[in-house]
Amino acid sequence: MALLELEGVEARYGQVRALHGISLAVEEGQVVALLGANGAGKTTTLRAVSGTVRRTGEIRFEGRSIVRGSPEGAARLGIAHVPEGRGTFAELSVWDNLRMGAFVRRNRRAVSADLERILVHFPWIEERRGQQAGTLSGGEQQMLALARALVARPRLLLLDEPSLGLAPLVVREFFGIVRMLNQEEGLTVLVVEQNANIALTVADRAYVLEVGEIAVSGSAEELRRNESVRRSYLGY
Amino acid sequence: MARAARSTGGVAPPSSTPLRRALSAGAVACLVLLVLALPVLLETRTYELARAAEYAIAILGLVVLVGFTGQISLGHGAFMAIGGYTSGVLMFHTGVAGALTIPLAGVVAGLIGFFFGFPALRLSGVYLALATFALAVAVPSILKRFEGLTGGSGGLVLDVLAPPGRLHVRPERWLYYLTVSIALVLFALTWLLLRGRAGRALRAIRDGEVAAVSFGVNVALYKALAFGLSAAYAGVAGSLLVIDSGFVNPDTFPIELSIRILVGAVVAGLTTLGAIPLGALFIEFLPIYSQQVSQQAPAVIYGAALILIMVLLPSGAAGLIRRLLSPVIGRL
Amino acid sequence: MTEFFQQIVSGLASGGVYASLALALVLIHRSTQVINFAQGEMATFATYIAWTLIDRGMSYWPAFVLTLLVAFVGGVAVERVVIRPVERAPVLTVVMVTIGLLVLVNGAMAWLWSPEVKSFPSPFPSRAIDVGGVAISLQDLGILGMTLVTLTLLYLFFRFTKVGLALRAAAVNPESSRLAGVRVSWMLALGWGLAAMLGAVSGMMIAPTSFLEPNMMQVIIIYAFAAAVLGGINSPVGAVVGGLLLGVALNLIGAYAEFLGPELRLPVALAILLAVLLVRPAGLFERAVVKRV
Ligand SMILES: Nc1ncnc2c1ncn2[C@@H]1O[C@H](COP(=O)(O)OP(=O)(O)OP(=O)(O)O)[C@@H](O)[C@H]1O
Ligand SMILES: [Mg+2]
């Protein structure tokens, strides 16, 4: 049984239908990439999973249907969604942003332990803990958003274009951390990326969305070799 | 509210087949006749009907502001006070007959409203509500301060209203016809105004300032004008209120009066002229009947009405009537 | 000079009352952009409940605490029942609903308790103490102390508890808060509950000096509006500083600016309100909000 399964999921914004029945699966412990042109519905797919857009069809998380749930319900089940634009609490301090990540957790000791472990990857956060999060640089905010999601100890991490606006070096650092967490702690990730190169390096599997439908899917290896994917998304 | 404002495109009838036009002209004529005959039909309620007509004028002012600029005033009682005191002070200190002071009361309130409108229009919705509310609460204490002119908290005792010259009408009938004529004139004036260039400009502002600016509408000026016009109506209503009571003191214009007018406007639907008389009758007669239950019943009902209408029927009585009539009208 | 200090202390005491009520307004405005015009009436209502409890023989402090609890529950209930249905409506619609609430609660109080003025006990002795030659009334000190305790508790709640954090987060970024697992809609209700509690404190503090009647807060709420706007309508610290400043300023004006006279305290507050709205709508203390997208 896959950790997350979508079957014939449709989603709409008012009259605009953004997803026309998509099906995909994310196995436990995998990193899955979601590729596609602008407006293809990648963001909407993630939002359908976390419940921030109206959707129909079937969405199962750990085998249970969550299609009628709310975003806060999804968070409580262990789905951490780092949205497009990072979702920083701009007016709260860096530290309070991290505390918000742990909102769904009860065991304070475990949270402190996790924080310590996570901050190893983001050593600068400790020094900036009192700073207003909105004043961090874009890259720092992206790292903070990742850290915030990790504090929740999610079963599934949804990342929406984490590389947006980051310097190439930082992008590699970011995905390095994701990969490491995946390998060392079995973190499951569904990541939307424009940067197909790096996404397909990190991911185990990938789906390509076109106008609200899944056009291609397969292992990262297969997609890298796929002629049309290569031309459209990898650029060589 | 914005929702209601948008759904009812101003006062112009939605379409105008000859049949419809004849029908609405006939309806208006019947209504006017009914209004003129009312004091004969409801002899004992003449005074209250005159009061309702005063409220209708004040509500008209508020509807002009709310419905056609999208802004709200919670303190129109303040402009009623300006009009009322203009009349009161003139009558008291110069002995002029009350009816003659009405136009001046409107002009004074209108001018003050116009100049208040310039800074006020820079405030967004909630802040304007806040500022006008505070204004209405503060007005009585300002009036008390200028004792020489206003008579302080004691107020001014004025001559009671009498019909002019040799006219043999009962005073309350004279009051009724005076008030109703003024109300009818103001309604007609507003209706014409809103159909014309100014009305288009005002609606353009309501529906989107950016668009209005790009069509060359001087937004600041038009908004201040709308505010001034609205205040002038309130001033006329306040003047009539003072003339018919025969005295004026700061408590003639408490914040409750502003809220009452607001309730009337909300009941009427905020954006259409047609249902204003209903709103006015509601706020005049509700207290009279419900006070038999308890002295406090009117306030409780006003409050509940305001909440229920905003929650369930933001387009007020006008919306309700339209909804009930639409199957009928639709077939014409 | 000693009188001057006395005026300042009693100005701070009334300023504390304005500050509590202003803070209540700010709490609600921060999360919903709505100004609760009924805040004052809700505070008066709570004070009537305290009066009833004390009248029935309960002693002051238990009645005080019980009133706070009732106010909290009442605030939550008001949000759930009347505000919730218009949660997504334009702001002005919600404002009109709060006006309706104002009228409704005001009428209900007069109905339930009669419009007559009632005297309300003060928990503080009416003596004055001597501080370096200045006689300071214990009444004023008590009110000021009470305000400070309330504000400190509130600060600790927001700063150090999980729910306090969630309340702040929901106010600045509801969408992200939901993604973090916060039930934002309940946070709004909680905010109303807290605001009602703050209002109750201010009501019970002002009632001994102003006497209890349905319109007790009609003027105070205008001072609270002015204080909130002065400090920046979204800034809790600003509301407190604004309240204290306004209290002192109005008291000094009342005492020393004879040409203005005591009647003009309210118009002065109105003038301050208008001036701040027009010249510096973000208030005196509000930091510019830094946002990066
Ligand atoms: N809030 C909204 N209201 C209306 N339509 C929307 C909204 N958000 C997205 N859409 C539409 O839904 C479709 C899918 O949008 P989505 O944001 O999922 O695309 P995307 O694949 O994430 O694109 P990008 O790579 O540009 O982020 C688009 O056609 C978009 O116009
Ligand atoms: Mg996207």
Indicate whether residue A85 lines ligand 1 (CB < 6 A): no
Atom of ligand 1 nearest to the CA of A47: 18
Within 10 angstroms of residue A133's Cβ, the number of other Cβ atoms is 27
Per-residue pLDDT of chain C (293 residues; tens, 9 = 90+): 677 888 888 899 999 999 999 999 999 988 888 899 999 999 999 999 999 999 999 999 999 999 999 999 999 999 999 999 888 888 888 888 999 999 999 999 999 999 999 999 999 988 888 887 788 888 889 999 998 999 899 999 999 999 999 999 998 899 999 999 999 989 999 999 999 999 999 999 999 988 899 999 988 999 999 999 998 888 888 899 999 999 999 888 887 777 666 677 888 888 888 888 888 777 777 654 443 33
Contact C75, C196 (CB under 8 A): yes
Cα–Cα distances (Å) from B4 to B163, B226, B309, B323, in that order, read: 42, 19, 12, 13
**Long-range pairs for C255-259: beta carbons < 8 A, 24 or more residues apart:** C255/C3, C255/C7, C256/C7
CA of A35 to the centre of ligand 2 (A): 10
CB contact under 8 A, C165 and A96: yes
- State how far the Cα of B125 lies from the Cα of C94, in Å rounded to an integer: 11
pTM equals: 0.86
Mean predicted confidence (pLDDT) in B167-193: 84
Beta strand ranges found along chain A (DSSP E): 4-13, 16-26, 31-36, 54-61, 64-65, 79-82, 156-160, 188-192, 205-210, 213-219
Indicate whether residue A44 lines ligand 1 (CB < 6 A): yes
Choose from A181-195, B92-106, C126-140 the range with maximum mean pLDDT: A181-195
- Among C23, C90, C17, C40, which Cα is nearest to C232's? C23
Measured from the alpha carbon of residue A211, the closest ligand is 1
Which residues in chain A touch residue C173, judged by CB atoms under 8 angstroms apart? 87-90
Structural domain contains residue A205:
yes
Contact A79, A156 (CB under 8 A): yes
Two tokens at C135? Answer: 């006689």
Structural domain contains residue A209:
yes
Contact A59, A5 (CB under 8 A): yes
Contact B322, B11 (CB under 8 A): no
Give chains near B: 3+ CB pairs under 8 A.
C
Domain count, chain A: 1
Which residues in chain B touch residue C33, judged by CB atoms under 8 angstroms apart? 126
CB contact under 8 A, A85 and C289: no
User: Which range marks the domain in which residue A207 is found?
Assistant: 4-89+153-234
Map tokens 């397969």 to a residue.
A218
DSSP B267-293: HHTSS-STTHHHHHHHHHHHHHHHTTT
CATH code for position A225 = 3.40.50.300
- Among B199, B207, B184, B85, which Cα is nearest to B142's? B85
Atom of ligand 1 nearest to the CA of A212: 14
Query: 3-state DSSP call for residue C127?
Result: coil
Ligand 1, atom 2: nearest CA belongs to which residue? Answer: A13
- State how far the Cα of A17 lies from the Cα of A41, in Å rounded to an integer: 10
- State how far the Cα of C27 lies from the Cα of A85, in Å rounded to an integer: 27
- State how far the Cα of C90 lies from the Cα of C11, in Å rounded to an integer: 38
Ramachandran category for residue C121: left, alpha or beta (phi over 0 → left; psi -120 to 50 → alpha): beta
- List the single residue in B with minimal CA-CA distance to C115: B296
What is the interface pTM, i.e. ipTM, of the complex? 0.90
Two tokens at A160? Answer: 């929406």
Indicate whether residue A154 lines ligand 1 (CB < 6 A): no
Number of Cβ pairs closer than 8 Å across B and C?
146
Structural domain contains residue A123:
no
Indicate whether residue A16 lines ligand 1 (CB < 6 A): yes
* Residue spans per domain, chain C: 15-216
Atom of ligand 1 nearest to the CA of A36: 21
Indicate whether residue A39 lines ligand 1 (CB < 6 A): yes
Two tokens at A10? Answer: 């449709």
- State how far the Cα of A19 lies from the Cα of A209, in Å rounded to an integer: 10
CB contact under 8 A, C104 and B302: yes
Contact C101, C41 (CB under 8 A): yes
